Amino acid sequence: MVQAIVELRRDSRLPLAQRLRPKTLDDFYGQEKLVGPNGLLRNILRSQEIPSFILWGVPGVGKTTLARIIANSTDYRFLELSGPTATAAKLREAFTAAENDRKLTGKNTLIFLDEIHRFNKAQQDLLLPVIEKGIVTVLGATTENPSFTLNNALLSRMHTFVMESLDHKALVRIIHRGLYLLNQTRKYVFHLHLISLTKDATDYIADLGSGDARVSLNILESVNAYLSGTKFQHLESGEEKINSLNKLGVVKIDRSVLEPLLSTRNYQKMYHHHGESHYDTISAFHKSVRGSDPDAAIFYLTKMLVGGEDPLFIARRMIVIASEDIGLRDSSCLPFAVAAKDALEFIGMPEGEIILAHCAVRLAKAPKSTKSYRALRSAQNMFQENPDATSYKIPLHLRNAPTKLMKEMGYGDTYRYNPSFENGRVSQEYMPEELKGTKFVDEKHFLDARDPELSDKDYLQAEEDRLAYLEFKKQRKQLKEQLIQKVIDHDCKPMETNEHNDTGDVGEIATTYPYDEFLSREDQPEYFDGNEKDQYSDDPDCSTNFEESYEYLPHEDTICDEELIFEEDNDITNTE
C-alpha cells in the first residue's frame, strides 16, 4: 500500500492521459478490428514477425500508445523518434546502430516514427533502403492522409492501418478508469473529497470528447482541478453542501454542474483546413450542391467557415460548380458565382459569409446539366487515346489567310461567312477529315443510369418536373416572340396613347413611339415628369424590403437564353 501511494504521489503531476496509457492490448479500449480478439495487429504480434506499417487516425485514438504496446510485446530493440525533432543525421545514426546491433546480437530494431507526415521528402527517401533490406522495422503514426503526405515509394513498402475515432462506449470506459485513478490520488495524496459522476455527466464528457480520448481525459482533469480548490464548496448538488475539508466525503457531479463549468471552452475537434478534412469537406460540399441538397450544402459551408477555411477557396469552387454541374441549364449561375466572389472580396468577412450562403443555396437549387462538362472530358479522352489527333490537318477553308501566298494556296478560299446567310445557316464541314461526323456534345443533360434505391415513382415525378419545366420554357419562348412582334409592329407605325395629368383629367392625345429602355430621358421626355414610380410594383417605395422573404426558384424565374437558342429548332418535348 505504501509503495502504491508513493507511485501515486510521484505520478500525480503528470497529465492524466499520460498516467492512464495502457501497457497491454487487454487494457486498450477501442479499435476492435485491429486489436480485438480476432484483430489483425493482435495476430501479427502473436507471430512476432512485425512488418513495417503506418497507423493513421485522428488525434487521441491511441496511435502512440499502441506503438509502445507493440514494442513492449516483442523482443525487438525499440527506438522512438518524432517528425518535428528528428533530423536526417539522427535517422542515419539510428540506422547504423540498428545494423550494428543486428550483426552483434542478431536482435532486430523497431523504430517508431511519430508524426511521420512531418518528415520531408529527403528524410522519407532515407527510409526506403533500410526498410527494403530489413535493417529496421519502421512503425509510423500520422494524423494526415498518407496518400497526401508520404511518397508513393514509401507507401508501397509499408501497410497502412486506419484507426477510427473512439466510440461512445470506449470513451465512457476510459473516463471511468481516469476517474478511479483521480479519486485514488485525491484520497491518498491530497486528502480531498472523492468525485462521483452521474451517468449524464459521464455521457456529457464523452460527447465533448467527440471520439478523442485525450480530450475527454483533459476535461476530466479540468473538473478535478476545479474541485480541488475551496470554491467547490459552493457547488450545489443533490446532497447538502460539503463545508469541511477535514472530513472526506463525495461530491456528486451531474450534467447541470458541468455545463456552466465547461461552457467557455470548445472541446470539439476543429476543422483542419490544411489536412484531409479540407479535401473531404469541400468534396462533400460540392457533391451536396450537385445533388441539389441546399441544407447539406449550408451545413458543409458552415463547417468550413467555422473551421477557418479560406472563403475565397470556397468561392472559387462554387464558380467551378456553376459550369461543371449546372452549365447550360442555367448559364446565369456562372456570372452569379463570379459576382459572389467579387462581392466577397469587396465586403470581406464576416459579412461575406452571407454572400457565400446566398450563392451556395442558389447553386444547390438550380437545375443541373453536365452536357458541356462531359463534352470537354470526351474530347480530352479522345486526345489521350489517340495522340495523333493533335496532328490532324485543319480544313483549308477554315485556315487563316493573312498573306497573299496563303490565299494562293487556298487558305480560306471556300469558307462561307455565316452572317452573310439567312439565319447564319450554311452547309459546311468544320471537323478535320479524320473526325468527320464525330460528336462530343450530346443532346442529354444527364446520362441514363438509374439508382436502384430510388423507385419508379421517383423517376416518374422527376420526368414530370422536367416536362413541366420544358412547357414553361415553351410558353416563355412564345411570349418572347409575341413581344418581339409587338416591337416590330410599333416600329412600323406610331402609337396613340391617352396621357393623364396629375389632376386626373384627360390630357391631349399624344402621338409617340413606345418607351425605349436604351434611350435617355432627353430623347423621350413624354415618359418622364420627375415623379416616376414603378406602376407595376406592389411596393414602389420598397417599404417592405426587409420584411418580405424571397426564395429563388431557378426553374421558374431564370431562363437560359443559350439553351433556348440551342434548342430552338428542336421539338420542345425532345430536348433532353
Do 151 and 206 sit in the same domain of this protein?
no
pLDDT tens profile 285-295: 999 999 888 99
Tell me, yes or no, whether 445 lies in a domain.
no
pLDDT tens profile 72-99: 888 888 888 888 888 888 899 989 988 8
pLDDT higher than 50, residue 261: yes
Tell me, yes or no, whether 377 lies in a domain.
no
Phi, psi of 496 (to 5 degrees): -95, 130
Tell me, yes or no, whether 336 lies in a domain.
yes
Count up the domains in the chain and report the number: 5
The pLDDT assigned to 499 comes to 44
Do 150 and 36 sit in the same domain of this protein?
yes
Domain final residue, candidates 163, 184, 214: 163
Tell me, yes or no, whether 20 lies in a domain.
no
CA-based nearest residue to 22, from 141, 174, 216: 174
Tell me, yes or no, whether 233 lies in a domain.
yes
Do 404 and 481 sit in the same domain of this protein?
no
Interatomic CA distance for residues 428 and 415, integer angstroms: 8
Answer whether 157's CB lies under 8 Å from 52's CB: yes
Interatomic CA distance for residues 26 and 39, integer angstroms: 12
> Rounded to 5 degrees, what angle do the CA atoms 259, 246, 239 make?
40
Do 413 and 289 sit in the same domain of this protein?
no
pLDDT higher than 60, residue 160: yes
Torsion of Cα atoms, 501 then 506 then 508 then 509, to 10°: 120
The pLDDT assigned to 198 comes to 92
Domain final residue, candidates 144, 163, 182: 163
Tell me, yes or no, whether 7 lies in a domain.
no
Do 241 and 288 sit in the same domain of this protein?
no
pLDDT higher than 90, residue 172: yes
Do 49 and 70 sit in the same domain of this protein?
yes
Do 144 and 172 sit in the same domain of this protein?
no
Do 173 and 153 sit in the same domain of this protein?
no
Do 53 and 122 sit in the same domain of this protein?
yes
The amino acid occupying position 483 is L
Do 71 and 112 sit in the same domain of this protein?
yes
Do 98 and 137 sit in the same domain of this protein?
yes
**How far does the chain reach from its first CA to its final CA, in angstroms?**
82
Strand, helix or coil for residue 39 = coil
pLDDT higher than 60, residue 370: yes
Q: Which three cell numbers stand for residue 525?
A: 421626355
Q: Which domain holds residue 228?
A: 168-262
For residue 295, give Cα distances in angstroms to 21, 115, 146, 368: 41, 36, 32, 17
Q: What is the pTM of this model?
A: 0.54
The pLDDT assigned to 527 comes to 63
pLDDT tens profile 197-250: 999 999 999 988 888 888 889 889 888 888 886 555 444 444 444 444 445 678
Interatomic CA distance for residues 328 and 561, integer angstroms: 9
- Pick 437 or 510 by higher pLDDT: 437
Do 151 and 42 sit in the same domain of this protein?
yes
